[in-house]
Amino acid sequence: MADTATLIGRPSIGQPTRRVDGPLKVSGGARYAGEYFADDLLHGYVVSGSIAKGRILSIDTSAAMAIPGVVEVFTHENRPRTAWFDSKYQDQVAPPGSPFRPLYGDGILYSGQPIALVVAESFEAARDAAALVKATYAPEEHITDLDAVKGQSYVPPKKRSGIAPPPEPRGDAEAAFAKAPVKVHETYRVAVEHHNPMEPFATTVVRDAGGKLTIYDKTQGSQNAQAYVTGVFGLNQSDVTVVNAFVGGAFGIGLRPQHQLFLAVMAAQALERSVRVVLTRDQMFTLSYRPETIQTLSLGSAPGGKLDAIMHHAVAGTSHFEDYQEVVVNWAGLLYGCDNVKLSYELAKIDTYTPSDMRAPGATLGVFALESAMDELAYAAGVDPLQLRLTNYADFDQNEDKKFTSKALISCYEQGAERFGWSKRSAEPRSMRDGHELVGWGMATGVWEAKINKTAARASLTETGHLEVSSATSDIGTGTYTVMALTGADAFGLPIEHVTARLGDSSLPTAPVEGGSWAAASTSSAVVDACDKLKQALFKQAQSMPDSPFGNVDFDGVAFRDGRMMLAADEGSSVKLGEIVRSARQHRMEAEGSAAPDSATQKEYVSYTHSAIFVEVKVDEELGVVRVTRIVNAVAAGKILNPKAARSQILGGVVMAMGAALEEETFADHNLGRFMNHNFAEYHVPVNADVQDIDVIFVEEPDDKTSPIGAKGIGEIGIVGTTAAIANAVYHATGKRIRDLPITIDKILA
């Protein structure tokens, strides 16, 4: 395998590379938010409320306060003063509305809302005392069932920043649908899912003698968390550093500050001590979730399957205090060529916490419905599902009337189908068997946005010739450390061992939250720019050195390799980089660089990653048991920076899609207004036995417009469309069209 190849002395981007953070992670050395200590550390335990809506009438903390070791019990009655205006609680990715303010007042907005924080000298005392906090409530009637309020859905009056609302209708979709010879009109649903990263949320606030705070927080954006803390608590930016060096998964739930951050900082400020607050797995289900969404898809086509009408309508649940929005329906107007398209997206309010982005937010849901409906259309029109996609292939984006920066989806279809053996498929449902099991083959298309966000990075070279690249971005397990180190190594022709990547610290150069699959492309592009600037500074310095060999060349005439700067035309004439730094009488030389989307390109082009997914399932229909035996996921995502990490990202996305398709489902007890299966025993994430053969293909896709480095991002594309491909395979196996995810044993047998 190429994975043990050494990288010394040659460019490294694009080669399979081991994680630079791997050794720390396998030996217990990587420290997560809840794993920092301080001599004066106090432990906080959150008390969660038990009704879904109403008011707290009384809250009795006396028994808890009597437990030895308990220092304070914070409730809405004795909460220290924080920002009055709710706008101060708004973080970078908050949807429009009034953000939840922990312990703000006696109002209860959702079940599981934090109503108290017990702070004690030991964790055990805090936990034991938390069980003794007794609240009485004046409950009000709540509604957590989306079906009960879907009739009162509305178009969100204020758009969420960064989320494109549905485009204006084009053509006359209703009329075209009415007269279409082939039609599909169906409703699709996906159950509520919780992100369930393996690491529960945690914050450790370490307070120094001068009152400065170092906050170790589980977050996808240290600077977002820092801005939230300074805004809410009226602190100076220079007094608050947020560190998220290691994040044990997040999948979107770490984009917004969670309540344990507020509570830990509040307690640290009030008690003038260091404080740690860790949530339990149960409490993780009181945080945000992927919204339940009811979608109606109408497709009308000519007899051969050429689309003439697309209508996609979605109603998604949101909280009463924020209008969470994601892109659910726009994909239907983007993915296939069609002149009559009507897309609409509405919200309906329920008494839960605000939903949030979860891996490929919106697309996971919308593309499931679209690609299920396309499969239904293929059967209605009597054409092969893959052929149907090719018949309706879109060469440009009709939603925005723009060109694609690149789109190698045809290659995905071709290479994926070839690898899978799609041509051997027998079209008729229930026509393929293996022993007593039914075999089904299904396929679908995946799509996700590709973009970079404004990001800064620093490159710094020491007098010993060691390179450090840094940015306040995050690595939530995605491989940002490694891709940054690779980029730096590449820029200087250094072995990766001579490069250190730093991230996850709000004091580093400005970077956005890590999400939307933009981190690798944005950060590495910024690192390239910083390295370029540093190389130019080194060149300038080198020219001024006595007996410099570079006196008569310009910057283009030098090369960097193996820790040296050399004449491109005469590699023998070289100077060690460390020597250049020393010649400037410095310990290190550094430069900042940045990357940002190019507005001229954006006027003309849109950029997306695409995929084609082919799935085989085997179904024991007497018992309702489905096995996913084979998946081929062919991905077009521009340049692949680290094939090893990229493959892992796709594998993880595919397996998460298997969870969504077959297992993951948060049940609500609508009488109590509460999620019921708040643990890993009853909320099923896939286990290894669910996973068999998964094949990942990256097709060639040159792209010089999405990002300076040529990459598009691969964190989310693996999950999109895969759920539909599984559901389509189940239909092919059984003849049963299940439009309501997850496809559990009882739905197969029903």
Distances (CA, A) of 55 to 105, 136, 258, 622: 9, 9, 22, 50
Residue window 204-233: x/- pattern of binding to another protein, with contact defined by CB under 8 A: ------------------------------
At closest approach, how far in Å is the CB of 117 from another protein? 16
Give the nearer residue to another protein in terms of CB position, either 451 or 618.
618
At closest approach, how far in Å is the CB of 282 from another protein? 7
3-state secondary structure 193-255: ECCCCCCCCEEEEEECCCCCEEEEECCCCHHHHHHHHHHHHCCCHHHEEEECCCCCCCCCCCC
Task: Return the SS3 of 625.
Answer: strand
Q: Which residues, in sequence order, are CB contacts of 212 under 8 Å at separation 6+? A: 239, 240, 241
Give the nearer residue to another protein in terms of CB position, either 449 or 475.
475
3-state secondary structure 540-560: HHHHCCCCCCCCCCCHHHEEE
Footprint of another protein on 538-597 (CB under 8 A) = none
Angstrom distance (rounded) from CA 274 to CA 290:
33
Give the nearer residue to another protein in terms of CB position, either 600 or 623.
623
Contact between 68 and another protein per CB under 8 A:
yes
Contact between 627 and another protein per CB under 8 A:
yes
Footprint of another protein on 649-688 (CB under 8 A) = 651-652, 654-656, 663, 667, 676-677, 679-682, 684-688
Angstrom distance (rounded) from CA 346 to CA 342:
13
Contact between 60 and another protein per CB under 8 A:
no
Contact between 38 and another protein per CB under 8 A:
no
Q: What number of chain residues touch another protein (CB under 8 A)? A: 92
Among residues 244, 352, 524, 648, the one that binds another protein under rule CB under 8 A: 648
Angstrom distance (rounded) from CA 359 to CA 450:
14
| Phi-psi sector, 225: left (phi>0), alpha (psi -120 to 50), beta | alpha
Give the nearer residue to another protein in terms of CB position, either 47 or 527.
47
Footprint of another protein on 127-146 (CB under 8 A) = 127-131
Contact between 480 and another protein per CB under 8 A:
no
Distances (CA, A) of 144 to 149, 350, 355: 9, 5, 13
CA dihedral (371, 374, 378, 383) positive or negative = negative
At closest approach, how far in Å is the CB of 667 from another protein? 5
242: tokens are 């947020």
Strands 605-606 and 402-404 come out as: parallel
At closest approach, how far in Å is the CB of 17 from another protein? 9
Contact between 750 and another protein per CB under 8 A:
yes
- Contact in structure between 611 and 636 (CB atoms under 8 Å): yes
Contact between 280 and another protein per CB under 8 A:
yes
Among residues 8, 38, 123, 170, the one that binds another protein under rule CB under 8 A: 123
At closest approach, how far in Å is the CB of 48 from another protein? 13
At closest approach, how far in Å is the CB of 461 from another protein? 26
Residue 1 burial (10 A CB sphere; 0-12, 13-18, 19+)? exposed
Give the nearer residue to another protein in terms of CB position, either 58 or 679.
679
Task: Return the SS3 of 115.
Answer: strand
Nearest partner of 717 among 627, 644, 652, 643, judged by Cα: 652
Among residues 47, 52, 67, 729, the one that binds another protein under rule CB under 8 A: 67
Footprint of another protein on 439-478 (CB under 8 A) = 476-478
Q: Which stretch binds another protein (CB under 8 A): 85-93, 248-256, 601-609, 698-706?
A: 248-256
Give the nearer residue to another protein in terms of CB position, either 43 or 407.
43
At closest approach, how far in Å is the CB of 562 from another protein? 25
Angstrom distance (rounded) from CA 252 to CA 653:
13
521: tokens are 């492309």
Catalytic residue among 199, 376, 590, 716: 716
Contact between 497 and another protein per CB under 8 A:
no
Q: Which stretch binds another protein (CB under 8 A): 78-86, 124-132, 540-548, 573-581?
A: 124-132
Contact between 247 and another protein per CB under 8 A:
yes
Give the bridge partners for 154, in sequence order.
347
At closest approach, how far in Å is the CB of 3 from another protein? 6
Footprint of another protein on 180-199 (CB under 8 A) = 196-199
Footprint of another protein on 689-708 (CB under 8 A) = 689-694
571: tokens are 């590699």
Contact between 624 and another protein per CB under 8 A:
yes
- Contact in structure between 565 and 555 (CB atoms under 8 Å): no
Footprint of another protein on 407-436 (CB under 8 A) = 435-436
- Contact in structure between 504 and 245 (CB atoms under 8 Å): yes
At closest approach, how far in Å is the CB of 579 from another protein? 30
Give the nearer residue to another protein in terms of CB position, either 318 or 478.
478
Among residues 645, 697, 709, 729, the one that binds another protein under rule CB under 8 A: 645
Task: Return the SS3 of 746.
Answer: helix
Q: How many residues does the chain have?
A: 750
At closest approach, how far in Å is the CB of 277 from another protein? 14
Reply yes or no on whether 716 is catalytic. Answer: yes
Give the nearer residue to another protein in terms of CB position, either 322 or 616.
616
Task: Return the SS3 of 538.
Answer: helix
CA dihedral (390, 392, 397, 402) positive or negative = positive
Contact between 513 and another protein per CB under 8 A:
no
Known catalytic residues? 716
